[in-house]
Amino acid sequence: MKFKKLLLSAMSVMILLPANSVLAASEPAATKTNSTVTQTKSDTGSQKKAAEPQITLILDDQKLNPPVPPRFVENYTFVPLRVIAEQFDAKIEWNNEKKMAVIQKKDKKMTLFVGMKKVYIDGFESELEVAPIIDAGTTLVPLRFIGEQFGVEFNYDNASKTVFMFTAPIIEPPAEELDPDVDPSNPNNNDNSTNNGNKPGEEQIKTTTLTGIELNENGIIVQTNADKPAYKSFTMDNPYRLVIDVENAVLEPKLAEAVKNSEGKIASNHPLIEQIRYSQFSDNPATVRIVLDLKKGAKHYLIPQTPAGQLAFEITNYTIPAHKVVVIDGVKKYNVVLDAGHGGTDPGASSYSGRTEKEFTFPMIMKIGAILEREKHLNVLYTRTDDTKIELDDRASFANDHNAAVFVSLHANKFEKPSANGVETYYYRDDSISLASVVHDYLLKASGLVDRGVKKNNYRVITKTTMPAVLIEAGFLSNPNDEAKLFDEAFQNKLAQAIADSIIEFTGVKEGIK
């Protein structure tokens, strides 16, 4: 990524360059150093390693000392299989003949194979970034992937090579009030909000300091001193602009002095950004407002999983490639493939009251499809139109074979603790980030459920498809509140409309197809 650095002084407008940041809650970035693992396999399938830095494991503030130390394998943290059993309170069955491990914790089951990236999670096939290995007779497995399946949250400190793990239950934060400056009935005010700023139950809200704004060829990066800065964003017309309100935030002193009694302005050579303006919009509550004056046709997407302290927005005029256009009865259209998760002999997750995931996904996909079928320039296709089990690869192949412009797979989540709740949207390839961002924004606004974020994962249906593709986890069936909403007819209709609207916005078909 090429950055254009613009510096603002106290007498003019100043942009502070972001310092190197630790990438919180992610694995270390790939580097070519002497500490990387040498990919040399012995006849037993083990991988030998060169000298590596020591990795420290901290679980709920307690340091772990496994008999075989953790190590990096292709820049992922691997630990002995017995660490998973001992620290995550899981049962493990090992099949030496098949080199297969079955990890079970209550009703959560995962099956892994040494030397294979394929993994089964509650019967749902997925794919690891790096396959488990055997080294000196010890089976090593990817820590983060397995931990997250059992509800463990991760942060990674690159400087100290420390992996922090947290097993505390997920608590639903209090509902946020609507922004009084945004008219929720105005469809042009596309509101997006997060509640990532503070942990529920904290009596004192920590003030975030905004330290810089960086303009680059993709859009802007807002730099703060908070791990996960809370914000709201929405668009306004006449002129067309994107408004970003950083909540519980103040400007860094030099920036504050530079814009005293006025607003800061940043000139732009970005083809879609006229200029950037910013100010201390409010002192009570403390709010820093950043306004991007945009050119016609510009779209904005929050870039997920950025380094700690950053909010990054891509500004683009993305349009679907011309080769995705199909002509049906003389009308130009885009094929949209809708995928109802599970089906037939694969019921998916069971709910708090005993219903199944497939009972939610199929009628919901039909509702979404019925809305989209009214659009002149969309041709809606379904991976299944009845209660049938469809293999994961067949779902992806169906979308690829039909030259789909968009693929959306619908699911509902489950966790052993009923407190887990909220909605999340998954993507795999970078070309799916914008679709995931739009879909997730609409889901949050319509559902009112807890924001669990836009995340990258290698679910098979979104890795094997070749077009922008997302997998939606619309809520937790294991949470009584989420479940009640997911099976409520009025809520389903509202959610279906939101997902359909997000697809319509992403494809831009309201303006026709050129």
User: Per-residue pLDDT tens for 242-295?
Assistant: 999 999 999 999 888 888 778 889 999 999 999 999 999 988 899 999 999 999
Length of the chain (residues): 514
For residue 478, give both structure tokens.
Answer: 């294991």
Average the pLDDT over each of 74-83, 117-126, 286-295 and give the range with the smallest value.
117-126
- Supply the pLDDT for residue 161: 83
For residue 383, give both structure tokens.
Answer: 């991976």
pLDDT at 208 over 90: yes
- Supply the pLDDT for residue 191: 42
Whether 322-511 and 192-316 are alike in CATH topology: the answer is no
* Domain 192-316 belongs in CATH node 1.20.120.1200: no
- Supply the pLDDT for residue 43: 35
Contact 208, 194 (CB under 8 A): no
Q: Which has the higher per-residue pLDDT, 119 or 409?
A: 409
Q: Which has the higher per-residue pLDDT, 446 or 109?
A: 446
Residue 513 burial class via C-beta count within 10 angstroms: exposed 0-12, middle 13-18, buried 19 and up: buried
Residue 128 to residue 47: CA distance in whole angstroms: 17
Question: What would the mean pLDDT of 214-241 be, rounded to a whole number?
Answer: 89
Single out the residue of 409, 426, 436 nearest to residue 342, CA to CA.
409
Q: Dump pLDDT digits (tens) for 493-507.
A: 999 999 999 999 999
pLDDT at 197 over 90: no
Q: Where are the alpha helices (DSSP H) in 373-463?
A: 392-401, 433-447, 460-463
Q: Where are the domains of the chain?
A: 53-158, 192-316, 322-511
Confidence of residue 52 (pLDDT cuts 50, 70, 90): low
Question: What would the mean pLDDT of 134-141 be, rounded to a whole number?
Answer: 88
Topology of domain 322-511, CATH: Aminopeptidase (3.40.630)
Residue 465 to residue 406: CA distance in whole angstroms: 10
Superfamily of domain 53-158: Copper amine oxidase-like, N-terminal domain (3.30.457.10)
Question: What would the mean pLDDT of 458-482 be, rounded to a whole number?
Answer: 94
Q: Hey, which residues does 302 pair with through a beta bridge? A: 313
Confidence of residue 19 (pLDDT cuts 50, 70, 90): very low
Q: Where are the alpha helices (DSSP H) in 405-488?
A: 433-447, 460-463, 480-486
Q: Omega of the bond prior to 239 within 30 degrees of 0, cis? A: yes
